[in-house]
């Protein structure tokens, strides 16, 4: 499954993600968007979920609006991709 991970989450995961997630980030393709960037990752859905789970800290209470939005955007992308891949939908 190929999805774009917001750069804000990628920066967080480089610092606190597990080794598997950090290796995936190195293989990803950087996509520049305005002032920010995303990393295009082609990995199994389980790794996208792991990255989302490990990036939950920036989206926790006390985080700024950009952290909340980055986490929400990535969660929405995962959900949409899974619904698109599910047979019968």
pLDDT tens figures, 7-42: 989 998 998 889 999 999 999 999 998 888 999 999
Total domains in the chain come to 1
* Predicted confidence (pLDDT) at residue 87 exceeds the cutoff of 70: no
Strands (E), 7-85: 29-33, 36-42
Neighbours of 48 (CB within 10 A): 22
Residues 51, 5: contact at Cβ < 8 Å?
A: yes
User: What is the per-residue pLDDT for 86?
Assistant: 62
Q: In what order do the strands lie in the sheet with 29-33?
A: 2-6, 36-42, 29-33
User: What is the per-residue pLDDT for 6?
Assistant: 92
Give percent above pLDDT 90 in the chain.
46
Res. 68 pLDDT band, cuts 50 70 90: confident
* Predicted confidence (pLDDT) at residue 89 exceeds the cutoff of 60: no
- Exposure letters 27-42 (e unless 16+ CB within 10 A, then b): ebeeeeeeeebbbebe
25: containing domain: 2-85
3-state secondary structure of 42: strand
Using CA atoms, how far apart are residues 63 and 52, in angstroms rounded to an integer? 15
């Amino acid at each position: 499954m190929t999805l774009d991970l917001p750069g804000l989450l990628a920066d967080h995961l480089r610092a606190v993600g597990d080794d598997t997630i950090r290796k995936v980030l190195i293989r990803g393709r950087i996509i520049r968007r305005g002032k920010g960037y995303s990393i295009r990752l082609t990995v199994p859905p389980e790794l996208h979920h792991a990255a989302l789970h490990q990036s939950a800290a920036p989206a926790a209470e006390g985080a700024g609006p950009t952290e909340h939005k980055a986490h929400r955007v990535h969660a929405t992308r995962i959900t949409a991709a899974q619904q698109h891949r599910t047979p019968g939908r």
